[in-house]
């Protein structure tokens, strides 16, 4: 029987441990498409390797590969790289370091087995998933982006592009990558003869999307190699023009990292400029939304007066109301709650 390895310590205890640990941690991400014949066995093997290096984070494993967002103590960086290199298909894998990073991005190690490392809803047997778009570094991306016969496409979700995106990019109004593929195809239909230049956070979504769009008849398909994270690093190191405006949304406790100083979004409660995502502090709601510091204080980290009042109730009363109570998180999708109305103005 396969040994099941999990971190069973309470999250709040782990969070306190990480916050009080004076050691510097490095946040990073990586992915790799590869054929994994026994995902459960590989999952436990990887857990043991990374736990020994005090790695924290979230990793998805499927028969098609690995998708990881993690952090590691700076002092363990070299030994972690050696551990990853011991796995053939992860040997010399590119590790995308976070741009803004205090090392407090994760508090425990979670490795889960999924059907796919990114949910795309595609039948991979119906097209060649290895026939991907041309990879471009930051300099090549900038050069192609400036051409009139180029269309830039954001392959991320609306709540990601809302706080930051490349100049002149198409930003589909979608909540999931699965939703984006048919919508993007419709948006691009009139541009089929142009250069299609797509990007995402770290590159993984574009790996599959570029192959799919080539299969659908788009010939000039390109993708930003390493995504926004690698682009920002290269632009800074090489002194290139930064064509990304605003903040890059990330899927860890930071929820974002500044790529440019511009704030292009608004607080979902008062409408003032803000690009700080948060999850409603009412765990029965937990909706993801944008909240400025003033509203954060007024609403006590919640998305509404209703959630604020609910959080102030005794736990016993909350438990009684939970089965029938309806909050923004049960009514709206991710980032869909926007209260820009006078009745939601601060009192």
Is 200 assigned a catalytic role? yes
For residue 262, the tally of other CB atoms under 10 A from its CB is 15
Most distant pair of Cα atoms in the chain: their distance: 62
Contact 227, 178 (CB under 8 A): no
Residue from 200, 267, 270, 307 carrying the catalytic annotation: 200
Rounded CA gap, 253 and 101, in Å?
Answer: 11
Rounded CA gap, 172 and 120, in Å?
Answer: 15
Contact 159, 335 (CB under 8 A): yes
Q: Both ends of the chain: CA-CA distance in Å?
A: 60
Rounded CA gap, 80 and 74, in Å?
Answer: 10
- Within 8 A by CB and 6+ apart from 204, the residues are 31, 67, 117, 118, 227
Rounded CA gap, 71 and 100, in Å?
Answer: 13
Sign of CA dihedral 291, 294, 297, 300: negative
The enclosing H or E element of 172 equals none
For residue 76, the tally of other CB atoms under 10 A from its CB is 18
Hey, which residues are catalytic here?
A: 200
């Amino acid at each position: 029987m396969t040994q099941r390895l999990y971190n069973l310590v309470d999250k709040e205890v782990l969070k306190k441990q990480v916050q009080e640990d004076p050691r510097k941690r490095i946040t990073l991400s990586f992915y790799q498409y590869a054929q994994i014949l026994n995902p459960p066995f590989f999952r436990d093997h990887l857990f043991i390797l990374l736990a020994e290096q005090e790695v924290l984070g979230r990793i998805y494993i499927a028969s098609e590969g690995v998708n990881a967002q993690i952090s590691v103590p700076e002092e363990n960086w070299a030994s972690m790289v050696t551990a990853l290199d011991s796995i053939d298909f992860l040997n010399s894998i590119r590790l995308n370091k976070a741009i803004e990073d205090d090392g407090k991005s994760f508090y425990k190690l979670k490795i889960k087995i999924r059907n796919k490392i990114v949910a795309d809803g595609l039948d991979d047997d119906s097209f060649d998933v290895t026939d991907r778009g041309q990879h471009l570094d930051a300099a090549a991306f900038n050069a192609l982006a400036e051409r009139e016969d180029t269309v830039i496409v954001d392959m991320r979700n609306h709540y990601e592009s809302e706080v930051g995106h490349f100049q002149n990019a198409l930003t589909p109004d979608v909540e999931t990558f699965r939703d984006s593929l048919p919508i993007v195809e419709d948006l691009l239909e009139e541009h089929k003869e142009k250069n299609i230049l797509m990007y995402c956070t770290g590159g993984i979504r574009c790996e599959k999307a570029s192959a799919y769009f080539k299969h659908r008849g788009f010939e000039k398909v390109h993708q930003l190699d390493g995504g926004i994270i690698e682009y920002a690093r290269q632009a800074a190191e090489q002194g290139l023009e930064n064509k990304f405006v605003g903040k890059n949304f990330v899927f860890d406790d930071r929820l974002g990292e500044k790529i440019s100083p511009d704030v292009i979004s608004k607080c979902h409660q008062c409408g003032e400029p803000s690009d700080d995502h948060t999850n409603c502090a009412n765990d029965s709601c937990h909706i993801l939304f944008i909240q400025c510091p003033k509203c954060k204080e007024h609403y006590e980290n919640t998305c509404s007066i209703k959630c604020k009042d609910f959080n102030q109730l005794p736990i016993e009363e909350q438990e009684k109301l939970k089965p029938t109570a309806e909050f923004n998180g049960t009514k709206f999708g991710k980032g869909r709650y926007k209260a820009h109305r006078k009745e939601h103005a601060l009192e």
